[in-house]
């Protein structure tokens, strides 16, 4: 597998239809610019859907890729190593923020186990049946995956994207359920942006103290030394310092762009996978939105590189797709306004206008 092959498969959203959507927007009763970024979102959606006016978002879906990372054994996370299955369980039982918000919004949630380090019996079959391997390697000293496992994970993500597109999903809210995932994500972003570990090291969604931050920074530094020699091959990069969940997310993003299915990114993990995807197919980011500013410095670096501006900045750092899901109503609102606001009334016919002028002149003459 060569991820660069996606470059020939992915096309940009229809620019001509976007211009048509802009022209239609100018005819609406609300003055151009009055709706701010909602106008931009509606025009982007029109191009993605290849229709003017834009259609309502009727079948959104939350998709969460789950995995454990061996680097978490270095105490770089506020959560214990090998505990990502507890995050999955909280989602399934409706007790996590993303589960609560999704339930209130009526949006279904799909969890995919790409690399959890737990007994499969702890979770439902539909969650664990795609697992690539049990946990990912410790990226500071060993590869996260073999090349074969990395390819399997990418193909897993591609298959999930195809399943969603075939089932009628018209927009995906993408997130992750991982322990140690932000460390791997920061290593990927640092490698692709050519920056140092200290610039991209954040404190994760659960928050870590200063000592844990220093351990995390050191792990990313060591992972970077291993990543730089393989920068020319995106699949090998994912195998070296990524993980099963990150490789699956990358495959999902690329295939979603092939299938013309828009995606809202969540935090630093999905941003890292998107950056790998951009490296493989430069048109792919045109199909993605960034839901929120996550507070992770690596996310900012990745989004800047892709020229993607987050929709929200509300200080939510919990991750797990929560910030992206909070942005969904904004996207839905943009589509609804563009589709349902009426246009200006027609300008009076020239003949009628001339008759009115003649009648007025006649009155003046009599006077």
**320 included as an active-site residue:** yes
The conformation of residue 69, written as its DSSP 8-state character, comes to B
* Two tokens, residue 171: 């927009």
N- to C-terminal Cα separation, the chain: 88
Angle between helices 97-105 and 322-340 (to 10 degrees): 20
Cis bond before residue 282 (omega within 30° of 0)? no
Following DSSP, what letter does each residue of 71-103 receive, concatenated?
GGGGS-SSSPTT-HHHHHHHHHTT-SHHHHHHH
The candidate with the shortest Cα–Cα distance to 180, out of 160, 206, 198, is: 206
Buried b (16+ CB within 10 A) or exposed e, 72-87: bbbebbebebbbbbeb
Number of residues that make up the chain: 367
CA–CA separation, 57 and 51 (whole Å) = 13
Question: For residues 290 and 310, is the Cβ–Cβ distance under 8 A?
Answer: yes
CA–CA separation, 294 and 311 (whole Å) = 11
Buried b (16+ CB within 10 A) or exposed e, 146-164: eeebbbbbbbbbbbbbbeb
Question: For residues 179 and 82, is the Cβ–Cβ distance under 8 A?
Answer: yes
Q: Which of 126, 163, 320, 343 is catalytic?
A: 320
Active site residues: 320
């Amino acid at each position: 597998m060569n991820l660069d092959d996606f470059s020939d498969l992915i096309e940009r959203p229809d620019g001509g239809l976007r211009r048509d959507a802009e022209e239609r927007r100018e005819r609406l009763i609300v003055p151009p610019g009055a709706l701010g970024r909602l106008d931009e979102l509606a025009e982007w959606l029109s191009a993605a859907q290849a229709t003017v006016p834009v259609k309502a978002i009727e079948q959104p879906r939350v998709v969460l890729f789950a995995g454990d990372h061996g680097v978490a054994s270095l105490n770089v996370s506020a959560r214990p190593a090998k505990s990502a299955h507890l995050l999955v369980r909280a989602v399934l039982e409706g007790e996590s923020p993303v589960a609560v918000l999704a339930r209130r919004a009526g949006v279904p949630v799909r969890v995919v186990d790409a690399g959890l380090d737990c007994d499969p019996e702890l979770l439902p079959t539909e969650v664990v049946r795609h697992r690539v391997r049990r946990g990912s390697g410790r990226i500071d000293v060993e590869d996260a995956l073999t090349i074969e496992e990395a390819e399997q994970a990418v193909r897993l993500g591609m298959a999930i994207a195809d399943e969603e597109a075939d089932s009628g999903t018209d927009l995906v809210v993408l997130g992750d359920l991982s322990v140690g995932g932000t460390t791997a994500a920061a290593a990927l972003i640092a490698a692709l942006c050519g920056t140092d570990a200290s610039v991209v090291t954040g404190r994760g969604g659960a928050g870590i103290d200063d000592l844990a931050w220093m351990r995390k920074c050191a792990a990313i530094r060591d992972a970077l030394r291993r990543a730089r020699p393989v920068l020319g091959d995106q699949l090998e990069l994912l195998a070296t310092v990524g993980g099963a969940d990150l490789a699956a997310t990358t495959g999902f993003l690329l295939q979603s762009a092939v299938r013309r299915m828009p995606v809202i990114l969540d935090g630093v993990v999905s941003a890292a996978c998107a950056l790998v995807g951009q490296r493989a197919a430069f048109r792919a980011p045109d199909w993605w939105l960034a839901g929120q500013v996550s507070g992770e410095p690596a996310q900012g670096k990745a989004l800047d590189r892709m020229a993607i501006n987050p929709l929200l900045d509300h200080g939510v750092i919990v991750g797990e797709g929560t910030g992206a899901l909070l942005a969904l109503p904004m996207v839905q609102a943009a589509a609804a306004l563009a589709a349902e606001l009426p246009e200006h009334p027609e300008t009076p016919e020239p003949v009628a206008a001339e008759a009115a002028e003649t009648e007025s002149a006649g009155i003046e003459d009599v006077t």
